[in-house]
Structure 1
C-alpha cells in the first residue's frame, strides 16, 4: 500500500494466525477509522496480504463489506483506495443520527421505566468520565483514542439497553462512521461532551423517555454545529 501511515501488521502470535475475512475487515476498518490509513491511500491486495500474513482470499472477502460501508472505493486502474468523508456524507450521517440515536435513547429510557437496571450504561459512563480526565502520562493522541473508544461504547450501551434487535443491527456501520469523524474533527470540548453524556444517562436511567429523546437530539445537533464548520474550513 502506498501511504505514510502506520500499517504494520500483527506481531507475535497474531502474526502467524490465519485471519478470516471478518478479521481482515476489522483490521483495515480500524486503521481507516483512526487515521492510520488516511483518505486516498491505496490498498493493494498483495501488499496487504504480505503485511498481515494472509492469503488474498480473506482480503477479497473483506473488501466488498468495506466498500459497502463507505470505507473504501474501487477505482479503475487504481484498485481499492480509502474513501474520503465528504461534507455531504457527514451531513447525511448527522441526519441519520438525529433519528436513530433519539429513538435509541427513548427506547432505552422506556426499558428502564419498565424495570431494566441499566448497569452496562452506568459502567460505560464511568469509563467515558475516566477518559476525559487529564492525565500527564497519556499523550494527546492516546487520550483522544480513549475518548473515542469510550464515547462509542457509551452510545453502543444505549442501543443495547433499547432492547431493539433491528436497531442493534443497523447501528454498527453508523457507529464506525461516527468514530472516524471523531478523529477527523477533534477540536471539541471533551468535558462539555461528557456533561451531555451524563445528563443523557441520567434521563435514561430515570425512565424519562421524552427528556432522554430531547437530550439525545440536542447532543447530535451540538455535534453537528461544531463539526461541519471545522470540516468546511479544512476543505477550503
Structure 2
C-alpha cells in the first residue's frame, strides 16, 4: 500500500505514537538525535513534526533546553476530558439508533465475557475490547465531521487512557460495568440513556486519573 504521508507527517505520527503508548513519559525529554539516528531521517522533518505536536499539545519546546513531552497534570487531564465528553456523548447518542442490532449485541456479549478473563488475557487484547464501545460510537455516529473530530483527538484520548491504565492496574475491571451500562442502553435503542451512561463513564475515568496524579512520577525538565 502506498504511504501518502510526507516524511514530516510520518515522523509526526511515529513520535506521537511514542508518546501515546508511553515509551516517552510526560515531562521526559525527547532526544531527537537518537530518533534521527534510529530512523535515519534528517533534522528538517523532525522540526516540522515537533511544531505540529506542540500545537496539538503533546510536547513543549524549552529554549536552549530541548523538547519535552507535555506534563500530565490536572489542567491537561481536565481539558482533554472536557473535549472527549462533548464529542463522545454526542457520538454515542447519534450512533445508538444506527448501530446494527447484531453488532451491538455482539459487542455487549464481548463485554460480559470479559468478566471471566480479566486476569488471564494479555493487556493488548483487553485494550482492544475495552475500546469497542468508543469505536462503535465513532464509526456509526452518521456524521463525517464528528468522526473526523474524534479521529483528530484520538491520540490525546489514547495518551490519557494509557496513563490511567499504568496508574490503575485494575482499570479494565473498574470500567467494565460502565461499558456494560452503555452497551445495554445501545442495545435497547435508548440514545439518551447511552449518552448519559457515556458521560458517567468518562466523568468517572477523569476522576480516577485525577485522584492518582500524585502517583504519576514525571521526570523534571533540566
TM-score by length of 2: 0.78
Select the structure with the greater relative contact order (CA < 8 A; seq sep ≥ 6).
2
Residue range with higher mean Cα deviation, 122-131 or 37-46: 122-131
SS in 1 for 2:140: helix
Q: Structure 1 residues 25, 149: CA separation in 2 closer, same or farther (over 3 Å shift)? A: farther
Taking the aligned partners of 2:90 and 2:7, their CA distance within structure 1 comes to: 34
**Aligned residue pair count:** 209
Q: CA RMSD in A?
A: 2.9
Partner of 1:190: 172
Q: Report how far residue 213 of structure 1 moved.
A: 1.1
Aligned residue runs from structure 1 range 65-104, under 5 A: 65-104=52-91
Q: Report how far residue 30 of structure 1 moved.
A: 1.6
Partner of 1:40: 27
Q: Per-residue displacement from partner, 1:121-174 (whole Å, max 9, x unpaired)?
A: 6666666667772455x6xxx51x443444345413311110111111212343
Contiguous gaps of at least 5 residues in structure 2: 218-222
Counterpart contact for 1:120–1:157, Cα < 8 Å: no
Partner of 2:156: 177
Residue range with higher mean Cα deviation, 117-126 or 90-99: 117-126
**Which of the numbers 17, 22, 26 marks the counterpart of 2:9?**
22
Q: Per-residue displacement from partner, 1:83-129 (whole Å, max 9, x unpaired)?
A: 112111111222222222111111001324xxxx2666666666666
Taking the aligned partners of 1:175 and 1:76, their CA distance within structure 2 comes to: 29
Taking the aligned partners of 1:120 and 1:79, their CA distance within structure 2 comes to: 47
Counterpart contact for 1:35–1:183, Cα < 8 Å: yes
Taking the aligned partners of 2:60 and 2:126, their CA distance within structure 1 comes to: 28
Aligned residue runs from structure 1 range 1-236, under 5 A: 20-112=7-99, 117=100, 133-134=117-118, 136=120, 142-143=122-123, 145-186=124-165, 187=168, 188-232=170-214, 234=216
SS in 2 for 1:40: coil
Contiguous gaps of at least 5 residues in structure 1: 1-17
